[in-house]
Structure 1
């Protein structure tokens, strides 16, 4: 089958951009090639592979898993079903973390990323704040394998730990702790919808009310923060007030919440002064 004929057929089942990217992935051709060489014939093996990918995409599997990578802050990160696909809204967490690091004015600030997944947050922090000493933890060995590979591919210096939140860190203290923890309510219907049902459930929900992991992080973070250090974490659109209340009750100061581009509460933070 010709490239242009295949694209025409695929567009009836999936988005045009998705179809083009899958075609480039399988054939190794550039977008320019697809435009200037539409008569190029697919091999039987390529047709078979593309049919499988289109069927998976049509069933709702994230494009990033099919391509094996996703973009985040202008960089490419390997992804697999062992990790969440990095979201654009999480880039704001990196921006805020960098701003807090600048305010702290530490020569070698120690930074911790809790539940690192693909490593996108910790790697970007290490690359965009080269003086920082960045550590990252995840409870999943498979996720850590992806994160380590991404760190090597991007040339980032990150110390990786397999840990259930702070459990393996001993008495280590940090100037900044960031996290994008599981915060979806276990009964949220979106978990069974397209996209999310293909991603690791462990990274999406606490199998409770969506605040269990946030409660644990907020409760344990003071033992791992230097005086004046900050805790920042992403949360659900309707969890801003609960997050602020948890931070305040735990003794954090300067508690605040930032909204995402849609105007929803998305990131909360507090400073530990004790």
Structure 2
């Protein structure tokens, strides 16, 4: 580079990647490019062809500084991709993770197999609306109800529903409340949930602690909310209805044990994420004269 020339966006990105790497950001090159695309107002693949405005360097330096301080990338850009959706996020709402897309796909398949004109779906703890909106956009014939306790998160869910033009009923409620949606008991075809499930710890990446604490952590073992929501979900399900729960990769056996303890549930099955970790458990509500079964017994908890 000649001394008098101004660094190109590509050179600034390389410099930013080094800064982010030194700060411990796990994906410094990717984040540096995504931040540049955000400032330039272009797609990431178009960064190398964009003509930066005069204030690019100052604006880019500021967002790189924020990311180096371990502010989540999604809080800086204001959005998070989730499947085919681009969801508004920010302080006060949980940032959806890519692995949850597998649970969303499971829910879409289950809804597609329901032999009704209007399947009924409930998303417990909707947050940004990621699961509910995926189902609503992919299965527009379904009635989708999204339950969320946090007022801030409900507002994000409303914004996202309006942005994608999806019909979702957003309801204030606690996923562990035995009276939740009592008027729908025994009528719901699919219940899906990505609840708080991380064991209380101070050893995670700094970005995790920027999410609302109550949306991430769930007691010492990560199971508090799951224990509370299973009887609620079981009561809501219609005979033959399906339940899908995301959980920590250390608690698959514990979740299965809880589901097996509910005599009204059957076909308790673990599902793996793309890394081969058991991260989801599904079950279905028994139908008349159907015995319970467990093709995947939970591990013994005795020594």
CA distance in 1, matches of 2:255, 2:66: 37
Which residue is 2:117 aligned to?
107
Which one has a bigger Cα radius of gyration?
Answer: 2
Aligned Cα RMSD in Å? 2.0
Query: TM-score by structure 1 length?
Result: 0.90
Task: Decide whether the 8 Å contact of 1:3 with 1:41 is kept in 2.
Answer: no
Query: In the TM superposition, what is the alpha-carbon distance from 1:32 to its structure 2 partner?
Result: 6.9
Per-residue deviation, residues 112-136 of structure 1 (Å, max 9, x unmatched): 0000001011001011111110000
Query: In the TM superposition, what is the alpha-carbon distance from 1:170 to its structure 2 partner?
Result: 2.9
Query: In the TM superposition, what is the alpha-carbon distance from 1:105 to its structure 2 partner?
Result: 1.9
Task: Decide whether the 8 Å contact of 1:59 with 1:194 is kept in 2.
Answer: no
The alpha-carbon distance between structure 1 residues 29 and 257, as it changes in their structure 2 partners (threshold 3 A), is: closer
Query: In the TM superposition, what is the alpha-carbon distance from 1:197 to its structure 2 partner?
Result: 1.5
Among 264, 269, 291, the residue aligned to 1:256 = 269
Does 2:93 align with 1:79?
Answer: no
Structure 2: give runs of 5+ residues left out of the alignment: 1-5, 21-27, 288-303
Structure 1: give runs of 5+ residues left out of the alignment: none
Which residue is 1:185 aligned to?
199
1:1-274 equivalences under 5 Å are 2-4=7-9, 5-14=11-20, 15-29=28-42, 34-36=47-49, 40=52, 42-43=54-55, 46-165=56-175, 166=177, 167-173=179-185, 174-187=188-201, 189-190=203-204, 193-251=205-263, 252-273=265-286
Choose between structure 1 and 2: higher helix proportion: 1
Query: TM-score by structure 2 length?
Result: 0.82
CA distance in 2, matches of 1:75, 1:24: 18
CA distance in 1, matches of 2:210, 2:8: 29
Aligned residues: 269
Report the 3-state secondary structure (helix = DSSP H, G, I; strand = E; otherwise coil) of the residue aligned with 1:125: helix
Query: In the TM superposition, what is the alpha-carbon distance from 1:168 to its structure 2 partner?
Result: 4.5
Query: In the TM superposition, what is the alpha-carbon distance from 1:79 to its structure 2 partner?
Result: 0.8
Report the 3-state secondary structure (helix = DSSP H, G, I; strand = E; otherwise coil) of the residue aligned with 2:18: coil
Query: In the TM superposition, what is the alpha-carbon distance from 1:214 to its structure 2 partner?
Result: 0.5
Per-residue deviation, residues 134-170 of structure 1 (Å, max 9, x unmatched): 0001110000100110001011100001111155523
